[in-house]
Amino acid sequence: MTSKTLFEPYTLGSLTLSNRIVMAPLTRNRAGPGFVPGDLAAEYYGQRASAGLLISEATQISQQGQGYQDTPGIYSQAQIEGWRKVTSAVHAKGGRIFLQLWHVGRVSHIDLQENGAAPVAPSAIRAQTKTFVNNGFVDVSGPRALELAELPRIVDDFRQAAANAIAAGFDGVEIHGANGYLLDQFAKDGANVRTDAYGGSVENRARLMLEVTAAVVNEIGAERTGIRISPVSPANGISSSDPQAQFDYIVDKLDALDIAYIHVVEGATGGPRDIAPFDFGSLRRRFKNTYIANNGYDLELAALRLAEDRSDLFAFGRPFIANPDLVERLKTRAPLAALDPATLYGGGSAGYTDYPALSAASNP
Give the residue numbers annotated as catalytic, written as ranges.
181
Q: How far apart are CA 186 and CA 207, in angstroms?
A: 8
Cβ-Cβ contacts under 8 Å for 104 (sequence gap 6 or more): 60, 65, 66, 67, 68, 119, 181, 182
Residue 142's Cβ-count burial label (10 Å; 0-12, 13-18, 19+) is middle
- Return the DSSP state at 4: -
Q: How far apart are CA 59 and CA 355, in angstroms?
A: 23
Question: Can you give the C-alpha Rg of the chain in angstroms?
Answer: 19
Cβ-Cβ contacts under 8 Å for 2 (sequence gap 6 or more): 306, 307, 308, 309
Q: Alpha helix (H) ranges present in 141-279?
A: 151-167, 182-187, 202-220, 243-257
Q: Find out whether 98 and 53 touch, Cβ atoms under 8 Å.
A: yes
201, 263, 260, 3: CA torsion to nearest 10: -130
Tell me the CA distances in angstroms from 78 to 1, 33, 73, 75, 164, one per residue in order. Answer: 49, 10, 9, 9, 11
The sign of the dihedral angle between the CA atoms of 191, 197, 202, 206 is negative
Q: How far apart are CA 15 and CA 96, in angstroms?
A: 8
Q: How far apart are CA 114 and CA 141, in angstroms?
A: 14
